[in-house]
Amino acid sequence: MENKYSIQTQKEIDTLFIRLQVWKDFFFFKIEYHVDGWAIILDEKNAYPRKIIIFKPYREDYYSIKSFEVRQNNGKKDVQEELYFNDGLNNLEDLVHEVREIIYGKDLMNTVSKKYQENLL
């Protein structure tokens, strides 16, 4: 069983983390380890209050990615609204491509399109 201490897991995280560094001026990065897998969290610094979470289960060969809009409610607590989700990314190249698409607005455009369609019906 793979776990956070395995060499393969650490290489995979390091490789992805290096690939994500092209966006270091736009995001804060955080690596988290969980019982069932690991995650890299990207918190947007300035432009739009957004969070992107990349998750990889230890026992599976796929990645999932979610993006959230983050805002504060009246009690000053962060409220997250899911904008986009994809759990069918089978390799690192597909994952990096999807991250790039999300950073450049894929998640926002999908959400706007859905809300527009809902208002038309």
Angle at 92 between CA 16 and CA 33, to 5 degrees: 50
Residue-wise pLDDT for 49-81, tens only, equals: 889 999 999 989 999 999 998 877 777 777 888
When pLDDT is cut at 50, 70 and 90, the band that residue 97 belongs to is: very high
Residue with more model confidence, 11 or 1: 11
CB atoms within 10 A of CB 3: 13
- Asked if the model's pLDDT at residue 16 lies above 90, the reply is yes
Instruction: Give the residue extent of every domain in the chain.
Output: 7-120
- Round the average pLDDT of the chain to a whole number and report it: 86
